[in-house]
Structure 1
Amino acid sequence: MKLLADKTGEQFLSIQQEQGDEVIVQFISNEGEPTGKPFKDSLKGLKLAGWSVRHTSTAIGLYRFKHGYLEDAHVSFALHQLYPLGRKVKLPTGDVVKIASYANTHSDGYYMYVTKQGQSKLTRLKMSPEWELLPSDKLLALPYYPAPRTQQEIDNIQSFDEWAGGF
């Protein structure tokens, strides 16, 4: 899978056909699933618009994971990025567990140690694409706003600005 990413690294285009500078591309989700319809464009035009070639990403890794690729560097990269320690996951059984280890690669799939809520016992489970990532408490935390500046801090900044002459 050849991939282009936008400037933010949050949107992806999958290159389906390439002939010289002409390409047929299609938007794909972060999970590697196609969205929308394929369209024709020039590689040069896409690069001028801020798209760049991406050799590895969570989108490529998750796409390969869902299609059964084993012992794959792209899959390992995606699983380590998306399933960090402490992240909560909803299993196909409906159980909510917390990740206690990184994904371990084996010849028959990827395994991870998890703990059930309220328990300290580690359980080794084979990962599957049906695992649903739950929102992170850290990512949903409100931003920190510092206390308003004191008069002493304002005076110090003003005296520096006067000394620096506006630079």
Structure 2
Amino acid sequence: MVSGFPCLRGAIEQVNRLNFDETIGLGDIECPQLFRNFHGILGEMDSVHTFKEMDRKGMLIKDRFSVLSIDFSTHYVMSHFPPLGSHTGNIIGKEEGNSKVTASLLKNKPKILFHGHSEAQGIGEIMGTTVVSVGSLLRGHYVIFETDSLAFELGNLTFS
């Protein structure tokens, strides 16, 4: 899973060489079409062009993708925004969070919520739900989520 990345072809090629089965974007990805096997959701910085391109190519996740959902219909949830109170949403040193995401989390109680929007990578917890910030790919941060074992791992790249 990745979030927050401009159109840097060399770096995208480096990500593609990691040979993930799928690359899941959690928003603010400028050139999703350059990632191998990309599917994702939108962030507040994504353009109408990005939306149309992802929708036209079947890359836009509208509700579920494998065991992951954006509508809280599974135990494993994706969101662009962090839930308020998770302490995992960090933009320029300022705590960020969305109260609607928190309300859905408290109502549905997923096991894990993965989110983008944050520069920093990190793990938090709200009422028994593990909250994972994938961090900004621009800083080398990503998360590997294994759908078979339902385990995740924080990863970091150094771009050459």
Question: What band does the TM-score fall into relative to the shorter chain?
Answer: under 0.3
Q: TM-score, normalised by structure 2?
A: 0.24
Q: TM-score, normalised by structure 1?
A: 0.24
Q: Of the two, which has the highest radius of gyration?
A: 1
